[in-house]
Amino acid sequence: MDYLPCVEVEPASPATATVIWLHGLGADGHDFEPVVPELKLPKELAIRFIFPHAPSIPVTINQGSVMPAWYDILHIDFEREVNEEQLLASAADVQALIDREIERGIDSTRIVIAGFSQGGAVGYQAALSYKKPLAGLLAMSTYFATVNIVDVYPANEQLPIEIYHGSNDSMVPEQLAKNSLQFLKMIGFKPNYTSYPMDHSVCLEQINDISEWLQKTLA
């Protein structure tokens, strides 16, 4: 099977857990690679970090320019019109990476899906519709693009979800994250929401919170 190309960061000892971390529009798998040492995770957690590269496709809102993207964005209005078929295909590609991690000996309950912006939208779909229970979902500066079509798999109906967003986000308004939060609560999830005084980015306080959450989730 053809898998998404990825950057992989291996722990010092054989991996017993995996974080699959999806980048945003126009970036690539190297974007969040420098965050790994900043998390200052205990070596005994033995987490493998996988940073997939999105394919390069034309993006309508950027005048059709070809760039790394998990799906096309057709309009940048508040509710965002996206190519759902491409998003679902990207989610399936991420689920194939989860399958591969299980084949490599990682239990599904030791696998976290993380995503920033576009990657977070794919993360929502990939994690909630996955057929086996996962460890958790980290949604950063993103929105739940497939609320109207997602089919939550029973194995992940109680999935721990962390939502992090910038209160000054000029790219993805914070209200979109709050809408995602309300939808998740409505269908029975108990997500944790944290807002930071930042734009469409990641800050040190957030990195510290991610580290703390990963240590708790994968302890």
Tens-place pLDDT, residues 72-119: 999 877 677 999 999 999 999 999 999 999 999 999 999 999 999 999
What is the spatial distance between Cα 119 and Cα 22, in angstroms, rounded to a whole number?
A: 5
> Which one of the listed residues 108, 117, 129, 180 is annotated catalytic?
117
User: Which pLDDT score, from 0 to 100, does residue 78 have?
Assistant: 62
Length of the chain: 219
What is the spatial distance between Cα 23 and Cα 44, in angstroms, rounded to a whole number?
A: 26
What is the spatial distance between Cα 51 and Cα 61, in angstroms, rounded to a whole number?
A: 25
For this structure, is 141 an active site residue? no
For this structure, is 169 an active site residue? yes
| Domain 6-217: CATH superfamily, name plus number | Alpha/Beta hydrolase fold, catalytic domain (3.40.50.1820)
What is the spatial distance between Cα 104 and Cα 91, in angstroms, rounded to a whole number?
A: 20
Query: Residue range 171-193: average pLDDT?
Result: 97
- Within 10 A of 168 (CB to CB), how many other CB atoms are there? 14
Q: Is the pLDDT of residue 22 over 80?
A: yes
Q: Is the pLDDT of residue 11 over 90?
A: yes
What is the spatial distance between Cα 164 and Cα 175, in angstroms, rounded to a whole number?
A: 12
Query: Residue range 145-153: average pLDDT?
Result: 95
Query: Residue range 187-202: average pLDDT?
Result: 97
More confident site: 136 or 76: 136
Q: Note the pTM of the prediction, 2 decimals.
A: 0.97
Q: Is the pLDDT of residue 1 over 90?
A: no
Sheet strands (E) in 87-149: 111-116, 136-140
Whether 49 contacts 5, CB under 8 Å = no
> Which one of the listed residues 23, 165, 169, 180 is annotated catalytic?
169
